Structure 1
Amino acid sequence: MVWTWRFESADGTAVTPEEDGGTFASRGDAESWVGEVFADLADQGVAQVTLLEDGRQVYGPMSLHP
């Protein structure tokens, strides 16, 4: 299984941040990574993220703002 993040602006438009995270071997690794870099992603114009498992939406969109 491959875990990835989809990055979006507030209106759902795709955003490509400098740090895209690549792929992750586990859900925990993916969630830990976004937890560590969410402020940087927000600074790069990412308003929300969606977690994907093998291209299938697991959850989201999840806001990166309080």
Structure 2
Amino acid sequence: MIRPRWEWAWETDAGDRVASPSPVFTTQYDAEEWLGEHWRELAAAGAVHARLLHEGSQATPTVELRVP
């Protein structure tokens, strides 16, 4: 059985990809929950936008990681 792949891609404000990949998840819920727990760390490391990828294609609108 092949399991679905959900993962996050990070980008800077200039649109450059941040190299460190996210863990790979088998459900969208798990991926979104993980981002909810780690977005502040990612923002502190320079990530400004997060894109949720499902099997390599963007699955949801881009999420902004700025601290209000």
TM over 0.5: yes
Percentage of matched positions with identical amino acids:
33
Return the letter of the residue paired with 1:53: H
Q: Is the 8 A contact 2:9 2:22 kept in 1?
A: no
Q: Match of 2:9, SS?
A: strand
Larger radius of gyration: 2
**Structure 1 residue 60 displacement after superposition:** 3.0
Structure 1 segments, 4+ long, off by >6 Å, are none
User: Structure 1: any 5+ residue segments left out of the alignment?
Assistant: none
Q: What's the TM-score, normalizing by structure 1?
A: 0.87
Q: What's the TM-score, normalizing by structure 2?
A: 0.85
Residue-pair matches, total: 64
Render the CA deviation track for 1:11-58: whole Å, top value 9, x for unaligned. Answer: 2110124xx432001000000000000000000000010001000111
